[in-house]
Amino acid sequence: MKLLFLKKRESLLVGWGAVLGFNVVPRGRRTGGKQLTSANRSGLRGFPLLSRYRRPTTQPRTYLGLCRAAAIFLGLVYTFGARYRMYPDTVSYLDMGDAYLRGDFANALNAYWGALYSWFLGAAVAMFDPSPHGEVLLVHAVNFSIFLCSLVAFEFCLRSVFDSQAILRGTGNLKLARTGLVVLLYALYTWSALELVTVSIPTPDLCVSTVVLLVVGIIARIRAGKSSLGIFGGLGLILGVGYLAKSVMLPLGFVFLATAWISYGRRRGLTSRILISSCGFVAVAALLIVPLSLSHGRFTFGESGRMNYAWHVNRVPHFAHWEGNVAAHGVPLHSTRKLPTNPVVHEFATPISGTYPPWYAPAYWYEGIQPKFNLQQQCVASLQIVRDASVVLFKEQSYVVGMVWGLFVFSLISAKIQTQKGWRAVLNSLRSQWYLFLPAATALGMYSLVHIEIRYLGPFIFLILMGLVWASHRLVQTDVSWGQYAVSAAVVIWALLAVGGVRELAHTTDDSEHCRVAEGLWRMGVERGAPIGHVGNSFKAYWARFGRFKIVAEILPADADSFLAGNLQTKQTIIDKFRSCGVRAIVTKRNAQPGAGWAPIPDTQYFAYLFSAEG
């Protein structure tokens, strides 16, 4: 009777294990002389009844824990070193988050900036209501939290790729090789997150990294045989979230979907899986595409691609105050107003909200732009992009790329000498990682046509390096020298990241002066939400965000010296123009007091010219 009960219990466990997405295998049971493995040991934790049913451990957990601790510690060091660093894009995301929270969807909808990061920042600001000094710290706390999420996504990806690569249980040389894989891949991802994507710059690029790693992990599971409808549905939903982070993930999302479909192969049920993954992707993306298209009166999933092509390939004057100088690239439907002064005062009080309207909604001010394909301009731009990326990867970060490439070459030579494997084996080892190379190469190709900053490429460069590491391991899977090389390379990368953390602490950018400017203006009687005029670089006028002011008119940096060096009559004429814009104060940064009527803002290098509240 007891034996019958145990057999029934075993059958139930195996059946429910299949439903939950993992294979439950009784300890020690073998089929066909080979140890069966489960694809999801984590699903068994916390269930004593299932403790008998285990799969062989494929990852050295001790080293994984040490790598995790090192990555978190280094992330803290990099974040702490940059705790008072701001970025112009971050101001726009903070303003968007405020607009969403107050229900101002007309201003919150933005065709240039992604929505997801603004939701995270807006929720944090609403929860803690920080002071100016507290807000910049809160922004970096949110960014560090996303970094932690990306580590979780990386470990999920790592486990899934281990399963898909069919690394079997073993000891000796194979155990050392597995250790080398874990510590090297963890070091490579930490390097990409801290040095390429950069946790120190608060942008949504870490959100993109997290999504990319989750998606690659799911594709790896599909390759390992986990191909339920739920897996494909989750894939579509996560890709939709990626689009909410950055619009470039919409075209890349279809590349990832195609990769998943090809990985599934010609098995039964492919059509239903294509439909459910596509529907999940489109359903989430439609949350933003539909309102954006309605607000623009035409279909659009974002304008950042078109605008960056016009700015960086067609060389249209960019970032602010486009006047349609070249008719071939269109005429602005909405442009900022130029007041008749010398130097010119640009006014943009309406209709866009935000701290600095020209950079809060660049798609509005550049409505009417018409990017044009020009072969010569395209070649020049692409060559410059390749040159810039090469400087970072093969000069500034050459130690990492060089070690991974050296590992591959070492594996190639070792395989040739020890196992007599030919070039076909090398090509097969590279071809086996196609699901990593294809999306990464597509992303790099897309960016190479328009514009790059190295933080855009971080997750995709990591995928390529991970593919090379796995390909090299496939060539010499049990070679003890390979494991030693991989561990040594990982130790060097970790050490260099530690040096980078020290450098970050020693040479940090401190934007805390902007917090003191905001508090100083409050003490001088300038109310929150007051319109402000600015003389100088308004992109980096972070004090306006911290003080909840709105810059509504400005003199550009190139004309600032001309204004400050002008005679009193010229200055007064321009100040009167600022007054006509309804500003509460004019703010500028100079080493000397620029003239009568200007008051220094205490404990800063800034000066303010105040108007009465009545105008």
| Mean pLDDT within 503-515 | 86
* pLDDT tens digit sequence for 450-472: 999 999 999 999 999 999 998 88
Q: Which residues contact 433 (CB under 8 A, 6 or more apart)?
A: 466, 467, 468, 470, 471
Q: Within 337-453, where are the H helices? A: 357-360, 362-365, 375-391, 398-418, 423-431, 434-448
Length of the chain: 615
Q: Given a cut of 90, is residue 11 above it in pLDDT? A: no
Query: What confidence score (pLDDT) does residue 258 get?
Result: 95
How many percent of the chain have pLDDT more than 90?
A: 62
pLDDT at 88: 95
Query: Which comes out higher in pLDDT, residue 425 or 30?
Result: 425
The full DSSP string for 157-226 is HHHHHHHHTT-----THHHHHHHHHHHHHHHHHHHIIIIII-TTS-STHHHHHHHHHHHHHHHHHHHTT-
Contacts for 240 with CB less than 8 Å, ≥ 6 apart: 253, 280, 281, 282, 283, 284, 285, 287
pLDDT (mean) for 500-505: 91
pLDDT value at residue 23: 42
Which residues, 6+ apart, have CB-to-CB distance to 355 below 8 Å?
91, 92, 94, 95, 541, 544, 545, 549, 550, 551
Q: Residue 173: exposed, middle, or buried by beta-carbon count in 10 A (0-12, 13-18, 19+)?
A: middle
Residue 594: CA atoms inside 13 Å, Cβ hemisphere, count?
25
For the chain, the maximum distance between any two Cα atoms, rounded to a whole number of angstroms, is 105
pLDDT at residue 14 above 60?
A: no
CB 592 within 8 A of CB 569: no
* DSSP state for residue 594 in the 8-state scheme: -
**What is the sign, positive or negative, of the torsion defined by CA atoms of 249, 255, 257, 260?**
negative
Q: Are 546 and 518 in contact (CB under 8 A)?
A: yes
User: What does the alpha-carbon distance between residue 444 and residue 408 come to, in Å, rounded to a whole number?
Assistant: 21
Strands (E), 4-71: 30-31, 34-35
List CB contacts of 522: < 8 A, sequence separation 6 or more: 528, 547
pTM of the model as a whole: 0.87
> Closest by alpha carbon to 233, among 257, 198, 264?
257
Q: What is the pLDDT of residue 13?
A: 40
* pLDDT at 411 > cutoff 90: no
Tell me the per-residue pLDDT of 100-143, one tens digit each, with 9 for 90 and over: 999 999 999 999 999 999 999 999 999 999 999 999 999 999 99
- Structure confidence at residue 561 (pLDDT): 86
Q: Is pLDDT at 270 greater than 60 in this prediction?
A: yes
Whose CA is closest to 233, among 243, 216, 218?
A: 218
How far, in Å, are 73, 139, 258, 411 from residue 417 at the CA level?
41, 53, 38, 10
pLDDT at res. 415: 67
Per residue in 65-78, pLDDT (tens digit) is 899 999 999 999 99
Return d(Cα 507, Cα 579) in angstroms, integer: 40
* CA 427 centroid distance within chain: 32
Task: Report which of residues 367 and 595 the model is more confident about.
Answer: 367
Residues 236, 253: Cα–Cα separation, whole Å: 8
593-601: average pLDDT:
77
Of residues 131 and 595, the one with the higher pLDDT is 131
Query: Helix, strand, coil % (nearest 5) of the chain?
Result: 65, 5, 30
Identify the H or E element spanning 55: none
User: Across residues 571-592, what is the average pLDDT?
Assistant: 88
Q: What's the confidence (pLDDT) of residue 174?
A: 56
Closest C-alpha to 474, from 164, 35, 183: 164
pLDDT at 92 over 90: yes
Q: Average pLDDT of 497-507?
A: 90
pLDDT at 310: 93
